[in-house]
Amino acid sequence: MSVTEWCNKTNAIGIYSKRGKYGGTYAHKDIAFEFASSISPVFKLYLIKEFERLKTLENSNREWDVKRILTKNNYIIHTDAIKNYILPDNDYYKDREWLKYAEEADILNVALFNTTAKE
């Protein structure tokens, strides 16, 4: 049975055959991968190894996201503590004591990233 006959009899979607000069059999990538995997064990092994490599790469980027989220939350805790305990009665615009926030942020940056914001 040809691909065209099979597609017509099963009302297949995701795969079709085209006749003529620029014809051929075209399939959705999942169907093509499964077909190639069944024909060639080497191709299937390459496919699995590439998938594992991409998942490892994806997981290594998550570590950076977790650090970023923790830094953001710690920064909020730090600034709230400064606002509530270090500068409770000061006028921020008059006294310029609010610059303590920047100093505290630089301490966090040095602790986490080993560099200040300015550097």
For 46-61, how does the pLDDT look when each residue is reduced to its tens digit (9 = 90+)?
999 999 998 888 877 6
Residue 95 maps to a domain: yes
Residue 91 maps to a domain: yes
- Residues 37, 46 contacting (CB under 8 angstroms): no
Residue 7 maps to a domain: no
Residue 21 maps to a domain: no
> Structural domain tally of the chain?
1
Q: Which residue did the predictor score with more confidence, 73 or 93? A: 73
Which domain range does residue 119 map to?
59-119
DSSP 32-94: HHHHHHHH-HHHHHHHHHHHHHHHHHHHHHHHHHHHHHHHHHHHHHHHHHIIIIISTT--HHH
Residue 69 maps to a domain: yes
Residue 14 maps to a domain: no
Residue 9 maps to a domain: no
pLDDT at 42 > cutoff 90: yes
